[in-house]
Chains A and B, each alone.
Chain A
Amino acid sequence: MVDGLNDSNRHVASNADARHRVVEDLLARRSAGDADALAALWREIYDEVHRLAHVMLSREGARRPFDTTVLVHELFLKMGSSNFENRAHLFGSLVRMMGQIVIDAARRSAVERRANDRLGRGKGGGFSLDTPAIGLPPDDSGDMSARVIETLDRLDALAPRAAAVAWLRFIGGLTVEQVARCLDVSERTVKSDWAFARAWMHRELTAPEPRADDNPRERRHEP
Chain B
Amino acid sequence: MTDRTTMEEAVPTTADRSRWDEIQRLFELCRERHRDEWHGVLRDRCAGREGLAFEVLTLLVAAEGLPPLDADA
**Cβ A219 vs Cβ B72 within 8 A:** no
* Bound-complex Cα distance A220 to B2 (A): 8
Does B16 reach chain A (CB closer than 8 Å)?
A: yes
Chain B count of residues within 8 A CB distance of the other chain: 36
**Cβ A196 vs Cβ B27 within 8 A:** yes
**Cβ A203 vs Cβ B66 within 8 A:** no
Closest 4 CB pairs of A and B: A199-B63, A203-B62, A199-B62, A222-B51
Encode A151-174 as 1/0 by CB contact (under 8 A) with B. Answer: 000100111001000000100000
- CB proximity of B60 to chain A, nearest CB, Å: 7
Chain A count of residues within 8 A CB distance of the other chain: 36
| Stretch from A33-41, A45-53, A89-97, A130-138 at the B interface | A130-138
Q: Find the B residue at minimum CB distance from A130.
A: B72
When A158-B12, A222-B50 are in contact, do A203 and B6 touch as well, CB less than 8 Å? no
Contacts of B11 in A (CB 8 A): 157
Does A54 reach chain B (CB closer than 8 Å)?
A: no
Contacts of B28 in A (CB 8 A): 192, 195-196
Q: Which residues of B approach A to under 8 Å, CB–CB?
A: 1-7, 10-12, 16-17, 19-21, 24, 27-28, 31, 48-52, 54, 58-60, 62-63, 65-67, 69, 72-73
When A158-B12, A194-B69 are in contact, do A217 and B48 touch as well, CB less than 8 Å? no
**Cβ B4 vs Cβ A209 within 8 A:** yes
**A154-B7, A158-B12, A215-B3 known; 8 other A-B pairs, CB under 8 Å?**
A158-B16, A195-B27, A198-B69, A199-B63, A203-B59, A203-B62, A216-B5, A220-B1
- CB proximity of A157 to chain B, nearest CB, Å: 5
* Bound-complex Cα distance A207 to B51 (A): 17
When A159-B24, A176-B73, A222-B51 are in contact, do A133 and B67 touch as well, CB less than 8 Å? yes
